[in-house]
Structure 1
Amino acid sequence: MRILMVAARCHPFMGGIETHIHEVGPRLVARGHVVDVLTTDPSGELPVEEYMRGMRVQRVRAWPREWDLYVSPGIYAAIRRGVWDLVHFQGYNTFVAPVGMLAAIRGGLPFVLTFHSGGHSSRLRNAIRGAQQAMLRPLVTRAARLIGVSEFEASFFSTRMGVPRERFVVIPNGAAMPAASPTVKVDPHLIVSGGRLERYKGHHRAIAAMPELIKRRPEARLHIVGSGPHEADLRRLIARLGLEERVTIASIPGSERQKMADILASAGLFVLFSEYEAHPVAVMEALALRRPVLVSDTSGLGELASKGLCRAVARDASASTLAAAMAEELEAQRDVPDWALPDWDACARVLSDVYDDVHTDFLSRRSRHRPSLDGIPSWPPATKARR
C-alpha cells in the first residue's frame, strides 16, 4: 500500500512525533508498504527531498520561521498532486493537519489521524485549544480512523470533540532502545530530565528543587537532555541558584540513539514534571532501559503511574516536595522490573492492520457512492471578484 505520513516536523528534529515516524515508518516499509513522509522546513535549509531508512521525505516551506504554527500552503498542493492509497496525519496542533485533511477530503483520499497531543508553553495557545478543537471537528470527523497513543488521549478527544469512543484505536508508542554500552554504569547521584526545552515540560521545576535536594543528597546532579526555546531561561535559573556545577544541559541528535541510551542507562532516576503528555516517548525509553521514573500526576503520565510503571507526584507539588520525592527515589535505588512494554514492532503491526481495514472499507464505499464535500470549504479560500 502507498502510505503518506504528514507531520509538521520529522528527523533530524527531535521529539515524540519525530521519533514515532523514524521508528514506525521503516518497519512499515519492511512489511511491504511504500511510505512517503511530507513535512515542513521553516528554515529553508534542509533538503527538499531525501531518502531516509527506506522512506522518501519531502519538505515544503512553512512560516513563520520563529514560531511553531507551521503555516504551509505547500502541504495542500503536495497532497493533491500525489498518488497514495491512504494519508496518515501525525499530530493535530499546527496548521499542517487541517490544511492537509482538507486536501485529502477534496482529493477523495481516506485518512487517519493520530493526535500525538502535547502541552504548550504559551498561555494564549493553551487558552484557545478548546476553540481550536471545535473548529477542527468537521475535518476530524471525516477521518476513517482516529488514533490515540494512550487510553487517556482517546477518551480526552472523544469527549472534547464529541466523537464516539468506538471510533478511536489506541496504539501506544514503542519503548525500544539500544542496549547500553558495556562500560556504562548507573550513577546513583545522577538525575536525568528529558524532553524538548519548553516551559510546560517542567525542567525548571526539577532545577528549582535542586537546592533542597542537595541538602538531602549532597552529591546529587541533574542533567537535562533536550533543545528548544526555553534553554536561555533555564540557564538563567541555573545561574541564579548557583547550580552551574550541579546542573547541565545538552542536546542529542535524534539519530544518535546509542548516545541517548547510554545517558538514560546511567541515570539513578529519570524525571519528567510536564504539565501534559499523552504518552511520552522519553519516559518509555527510560523504562525500556529499566530506570526508575518520577513524573507529574497528570494526563498520560498519570496513566503510566496508575499501571505501576512509575511514581507520580502532584502536578502542583512544591520544590521541596519534588526534592523529597527525588531523594527518596535515589535512596531506594529501585530494581525496575523487566516489564513487557509496548514496542515499535507491535506499533507498526497494528498500524498496518488499521491501514488494511481502512483501505478495504474505502474501496467498498467507493464502489457504492462518491463522498460528499458538503460543509468542507475550498482551498485556497475563494476571493470575491472586484467590481
Structure 2
Amino acid sequence: MYRICMASDFFHPNIGGVESHIYQLSQRFLRKGHKVIVITHAYDDRVGIRYMTSGLKVYYLPFLVIYNQCTLPTLFTSFPIVRYILIREQINIVHGHSAFSALAHEVMFHAKTLGLKTVFTDHSLFGFADASAIITNKLLKVMLSVCNRVICVSHTGKENTALRAGVDPNRIFVIPHPVDTDVFRPLSTANQIDKSDKLTIVILSRLVYRKGIDLLAGVIPQICRQYPSIKFLIGGEGPKRIVLEEMIERHSLQNRITLVGHVNPDKVRDVMVQGDIFLNCSLTEAFCIAIIEAAACGLQVVSTKVGGVPEVLPEELIWFAEPSVEGVYDGIVRAINDRIQGKIIAPQKSHEMVKSFYQWDDILERITFVYESVESDPIETIDERIQKFWNFDVATGMFFLFITVVCHFLFKLFSYFVPESEIELVPEFDYNELRKTNNNNDDNHNDNKCQ
C-alpha cells in the first residue's frame, strides 16, 4: 500500500484541469486501498483540515497567495509544518503537480530532506524567451534534478519539459489525463443530431490570458452578428472576466451570453450538456482535459491547435482553429456548417469513442508503475543533493545549497526537540471497509422497508 501526498497550489474549490485531475486521481487510489492526502493553500475561510468524498483528507495551509492562486515561496519556513504532516500521515511518496505551484516544489524539496521519494507531474507548456519563462525554467531545472520521476501529459509536453528543465527523457513518463465517462455522458442516449442553427456554445475555463479569453472576447461579437440564434454559456472565474463583461456591455449581448461564474466540479457535466458546441481558445496547452469531457458529453469540440491538443482527440471529434480571432471564427463556422449538413458524429457514439480512449483503470495502472519504479531508487544523501546543485551556475548553486543546508539544520533541530517518536500517527482509514459497511447498512435499511 502506498501512502501518497498530493501537493499543489491548485485544488478544490478552485476549478481547472489540474484541480480535477488531482481530485479524481486521489479518489481512484483511495478505492484501490492506498492512502492519499492533499496539501494545498487556504482558500478564503477554508483553512485547516477538511474531508472530501471517500475520506480524502485535505490540508489547507495558511500560506499567503500572491497571484493567480499561487503562494509566495517561503523557502525553508514551511519546513516545520510540512515535516509534521508527512511524518504524522506516514507518507512514503510525495506527488507534486504543476510547474506554476510554489507549494508543490516546496513540499517535494522538504520531502527529499526527510528522505522520501518524489514524483512530479507537469501539466503545462512553457516558452524559452520571456523573463517569467526563464525564471520558471531555471527553478524547474533545479527542482527536478532531485526529483525521482517526472510525468508529462502529452508527448509535446515531454519534449518541452526535457528541453527547458534538462531532464533525462528516460526519467519522463507520458501519461494523459483520463476522464470519468460514467459522469461525463450525453444528456440523451438517442443517436440523433440537432441540425438547426439554434445552438449554444459552451466555454468552461479559468478566465485568464493563457486560456485565450482575449480571443474569445474578439470572436463572440462576430459570431453573434453572423448567427442571430446562437447563444454562449461561459463558466469560470478569473481576472479576465472584466474583459468579457465589457464586451457584453459594448455590444449589448446580455440576452445572448450567460456568465455562470464559478462551477463546482460536480456540476461541470450539468453545464456542458446545456450546449451543443464546446469552445477552447487556449494560447498554450499541454493537454486539455476539458475538451475530452466535452466530447464524452457528446458536444462538438472547437479548439485552437496549440501544444499537445492535437494528441487529445481524433480529427473526427475536433475542429481545429488557429490561435487568432479570425482562426477561431473560421473554426466555429466550419463546425456549425458541418453540423447543419449532418457531418458530425452522434453524441452517444462520441461518448463511446472517448470511453475507449481514456480509461481510469489504465491510467491508474501506469501511474502505479511509476511509483513502483521509484521504490528501487536509493535515498539521496545531503552530499549527493549538494553536488547536484553545485553543478549549476554559481548563483543558482549557492542559493539552493544555502536552502539545502538550512533545511537540513532544521531537520536535525526538529528531530531533537520534536522527535518522530513524539508525533502522534494518524490511524489508518480503510475506504473499502467503510464502503462495505455503508452498503450493508443500505441493504439492512431496504430489508426493513420491505418488511
Shared fold per TM-score greater than 0.5: yes
The answer for the alignment partner of 1:377 in structure 2 is 401
Give the deviation of 1:114 after TM superposition.
Answer: 0.1
Given the superposition, is the C-alpha separation of residues 66 and 304 from structure 1 closer, same or farther in structure 2, using an over 3 Å criterion? closer
Where 1:128 maps in the other structure, the secondary structure is helix
Q: Does 1:253 pair with 2:263? A: yes
Amino acid at match of 1:286: A
Q: Does 1:162 pair with 2:166? A: yes
Hey, what's the Cα distance between the residues in 1 that align with 2:199 and 2:228? 9
The answer for the alignment partner of 1:49 in structure 2 is 49
Amino acid at match of 2:13: P
Contact 1:252–1:260 under 8 Å retained in 2? no
The answer for the alignment partner of 2:226 in structure 1 is 216
Amino acid at match of 1:39: T
Given the superposition, is the C-alpha separation of residues 212 and 42 from structure 1 closer, same or farther in structure 2, using an over 3 Å criterion? closer
State the structure with more CA Rg. 2
Give the deviation of 1:71 after TM superposition.
Answer: 1.9
Where 2:384 maps in the other structure, the secondary structure is coil
The answer for the alignment partner of 1:137 in structure 2 is 141
Q: How does 1:326-341 map to 2 (within 5 A)?
A: 326-333=332-339, 334-335=344-345, 337=350, 338-339=352-353, 340-341=356-357
From 190, 209, 212, give the equivalent of 1:202. 212
Hey, what's the Cα distance between the residues in 1 that align with 2:224 and 2:381? 68
Hey, what's the Cα distance between the residues in 2 that align with 1:164 and 1:223? 43
The answer for the alignment partner of 2:329 in structure 1 is 323
Give the deviation of 1:192 after TM superposition.
Answer: 0.9
Given the superposition, is the C-alpha separation of residues 145 and 307 from structure 1 closer, same or farther in structure 2, using an over 3 Å criterion? farther
Q: Does 1:39 pair with 2:40? A: yes
The answer for the alignment partner of 1:96 in structure 2 is 103
Hey, what's the Cα distance between the residues in 2 that align with 1:75 and 1:310? 44
Amino acid at match of 1:62: F
Amino acid at match of 1:241: H
Report the more deviating stretch, 368-377 or 169-178.
368-377
Report the more deviating stretch, 207-216 or 152-161.
207-216
Hey, what's the Cα distance between the residues in 1 that align with 2:239 and 2:221? 24
TM-score by length of 1: 0.86
Hey, what's the Cα distance between the residues in 2 that align with 1:183 and 1:146? 39
Contact 2:4–2:95 under 8 Å retained in 1? yes
The answer for the alignment partner of 2:121 in structure 1 is 114
Q: Identify the structure with the greater helix proportion.
A: 2
Hey, what's the Cα distance between the residues in 2 that align with 1:15 and 1:344? 18
Where 2:273 maps in the other structure, the secondary structure is helix
Report the more deviating stretch, 30-39 or 65-74.
65-74
Q: How does 1:23-38 map to 2 (within 5 A)?
A: 23-38=24-39
Superposed structure 1 runs of 4+ greater than 6 Å apart: 183-187, 368-371
Given the superposition, is the C-alpha separation of residues 140 and 372 from structure 1 closer, same or farther in structure 2, using an over 3 Å criterion? same
Q: Does 1:189 pair with 2:199? A: yes
The answer for the alignment partner of 1:20 in structure 2 is 21
Q: Could you say what the CA RMSD is over the residues aligned between the two structures, in angstroms?
A: 2.9
Give the deviation of 1:342 after TM superposition.
Answer: 1.4
Contact 1:4–1:35 under 8 Å retained in 2? yes
Amino acid at match of 2:57: R
Amino acid at match of 2:17: G
Hey, what's the Cα distance between the residues in 1 that align with 2:263 and 2:271? 13
Amino acid at match of 1:347: I
Hey, what's the Cα distance between the residues in 1 that align with 2:374 and 2:405? 30
The answer for the alignment partner of 2:369 in structure 1 is 353
Contact 1:8–1:96 under 8 Å retained in 2? yes
Give the deviation of 1:75 after TM superposition.
Answer: 4.6
Given the superposition, is the C-alpha separation of residues 117 and 216 from structure 1 closer, same or farther in structure 2, using an over 3 Å criterion? same
Hey, what's the Cα distance between the residues in 2 that align with 1:211 and 1:233? 13
Given the superposition, is the C-alpha separation of residues 379 and 163 from structure 1 closer, same or farther in structure 2, using an over 3 Å criterion? closer
Give the deviation of 1:102 after TM superposition.
Answer: 1.8
What are the Cα deviations for residues 55-77 of structure 1, in whole angstroms up to 9, with x where unaligned?
21111122245653312646533
How many equivalent pairs are there? 370
Q: How does 1:217-256 map to 2 (within 5 A)?
A: 217-256=227-266
Contact 2:217–2:243 under 8 Å retained in 1? no
Hey, what's the Cα distance between the residues in 2 that align with 1:159 and 1:378? 26
The answer for the alignment partner of 1:269 in structure 2 is 277
Task: Could you tell me which runs of 5 or more consecutive residues in structure 1 were left unpaired when the two chains were aligned.
Answer: none
Task: Could you tell me which runs of 5 or more consecutive residues in structure 2 were left unpaired when the two chains were aligned.
Answer: 390-399, 408-451
What are the Cα deviations for residues 183-240 of structure 1, in whole angstroms up to 9, with x where unaligned?
9996851111121111221233233223332343221111111111211221012211
Amino acid at match of 1:230: K
TM-score by length of 2: 0.74
The answer for the alignment partner of 1:288 in structure 2 is 296
Contact 1:305–1:312 under 8 Å retained in 2? no
